[in-house]
Amino acid sequence: TRTPVNVTVTGAAGQIGYALLFRIASGQLLGADVPVRLRLLEITPALKAAEGTAMELDDCAFPLLQGIDISDDPNVAFDGANVALLVGARPRTKGMERGDLLEANGGIFKPQGQAINGHAADDIKVLVVGNPANTNALIAQAAAPDVPAERFTAMTRLDHNRALTQLAKKTGSTVADIKRLTIWGNHSATQYPDIFHATVAGKNAAEVVNDEKWLADDFIPTVAKRGAAIIEARGASSAASAANAAIDHVHTWVNGTADGDWVSMGIPSDGSYGVPEGLISSFPVTTKDGKYEIVQGLDINEFSRARIDASVKELEEEREAVRSLGLI
Ligand code: NAI
């Protein structure tokens, strides 16, 4: 029998946690033949709720689930972690300035980065879901100098998936027909969903659409503001689709992209496409054998350049802000 993979999930008692844990335990994160051990991290007042979720996980009798540990101590929860999903974060509350938001999240992601540095397994892969995801990933990464920087990633797969469906609807196709779509930049309202390199049933998506006004005034804002639209409709934020995207992100990272296709991941820039080195920004990536690579050589037109630059500028400002707070 295989040794189980340790998967640490923070914010385990939250909405995304509830939509995520059962799918991890059923084998959808890593593969239907990979046993897992769940390590749940919560803040002390939410430990009881996490225990309730663990009871339900027990009651599913998942054959792949080899155990569940629950802790409010990051040093315990990240001990031996092979995969870490950092979901718990401090949300922006009314009247909160960006500086306060970044500082509050620094208080979460810095100690978690330190705990990962000190206790995680050598092959640790980290996905940050909790917002502001890109900059939270940067904070955790900076606190983990002994972990290779590229193991810290931020989630833009939900944006990617949202864009796939919007494009499929517009073109009367299905998501399975669409390849090579890209989300660039920050997981925020400035993100840029790029269809210029995408294909719909093998044809260039921008040519199939042939409607720059739709792109600028409909597609891009619909994808970027989808989170707010879900809250407006459901009265609660997107949890199942966010959990689904987290599953997709890690599954692709571990198991590879399909031939001729790519996905979007927030990853430390190597300077590609003019994105300053070290910023955790979304790029088109292919993955193989547990490693990812940025897709190189794409022509970036003027329309795309301006939008990528605007989102990257926001990431630089966030990096400056956490730098001046001493968080990185
Ligand atoms: P939630 O509020 O239901 O759950 C968050 C959980 O995190 C709570 O149970 C809380 O106790 C826990 N938590 C807070 N601080 C913690 C700490 N220091 N250690 C461990 N746990 C801690 O929120 P929900 O809906 O599950 O969302 C979680 C995060 O995911 C939010 O920041 C949200 O903005 C973000 N998100 C990101 C998306 C993306 O595409 N990157 C999409 C959707 C949500």
Query: What pLDDT shows up at residue 73?
Result: 98
Query: pLDDT tens digits for 174-189?
Result: 999 999 999 999 999 9
- Counting atoms of ligand 1 from 1, which one is nearest the CA of 41? 20
* 133, two tokens: 């995801």
Task: Tell me the per-residue pLDDT of 250-293, one tens digit each, with 9 for 90 and over.
Answer: 999 999 999 999 999 999 999 999 999 999 999 999 999 999 99
Cβ-Cβ contacts under 8 Å for 290 (sequence gap 6 or more): 123, 125, 253, 254
The ligand 1 atom at the shortest distance from the C-alpha of residue 49 is 9
Q: Is the pLDDT of residue 1 over 80?
A: no
Q: What is the ipTM of this complex?
A: 0.98
Does 162 count as an annotated binding residue? yes
Question: Which residue of the set 160, 187, 197, 249 is catalytic?
Answer: 187
Pocket of ligand 1 (CB under 6 A): 10-11, 13-17, 41-43, 46, 87-89, 91, 108, 129-131, 133, 155, 158, 187, 237-239, 242
Does pLDDT of 12 surpass 70? Answer: yes
pLDDT at 302: 97
Query: What's residue 87's pLDDT?
Result: 98
Longest dimension (CA), the chain: 56
Cis peptide before 145, with omega less than 30 degrees from 0? no
C-alpha–C-alpha distance, residues 185 and 315, integer Å:
8
Outline where DSSP puts E strands in 137-231.
152-154, 178-179, 182-184, 192-194, 199-200, 203-204
What tens digit of pLDDT does each residue of 18-70 get?
999 999 999 999 999 999 999 999 999 999 999 999 999 999 999 999 999 99
Q: pLDDT tens, 114-173? A: 999 999 999 999 999 999 999 999 999 999 999 999 999 999 999 999 999 999 999 999
Task: Say if residues 192 and 198 touch (Cβ distance below 8 Å).
Answer: no
Pocket test of ligand 1: the residue of 237, 250, 282 to mutate, having most ligand atoms within 8 Å of its CB, is 237
Total residue length of the chain = 328
Question: 191 with 223: CB under 8 angstroms?
Answer: yes
C-alpha–C-alpha distance, residues 310 and 307, integer Å? 5
Separation of alpha carbons 191 and 110, rounded Å: 25
Name the helix (H) or strand (E) containing 283: strand 280-288
DSSP type of residue 246: H
pLDDT of residue 92: 86
Centre of ligand 1 to C-alpha 240, Å, is 13
When pLDDT is cut at 50, 70 and 90, the band that residue 202 belongs to is very high
94: confidence class by pLDDT, cuts 50, 70, 90: confident
| Predicted confidence band of residue 91 (pLDDT cuts 50, 70, 90) | confident
Instruction: Report which secondary-structure segment, H or E, holds 50.
Output: helix 47-60
Per-residue model confidence (pLDDT) at position 6: 98
Mean of the per-residue pLDDT values of the chain: 97
| CA–CA dist 181, 185 (Å, integer) | 14
**Cα–Cα–Cα angle for 292, 293, 298, rounded to 5 degrees:** 145
Q: What are the tens digits of pLDDT across the range 286-314?
A: 999 999 999 999 999 999 999 999 999 99
CA dihedral 82, 37, 243, 23 (to 10 degrees): 130
CA distance 139 to 158: 21
The predicted model scores a pTM of 0.98
- Nearest-5° Cα angle at 9, 255 to 248: 30
Q: Give helix 157-171 / helix 240-255 axis angle, nearest 10°.
A: 100
**Nearest-atom index, ligand 1, CA of 11:** 7
Question: Does residue 160 have an active-site annotation?
Answer: no
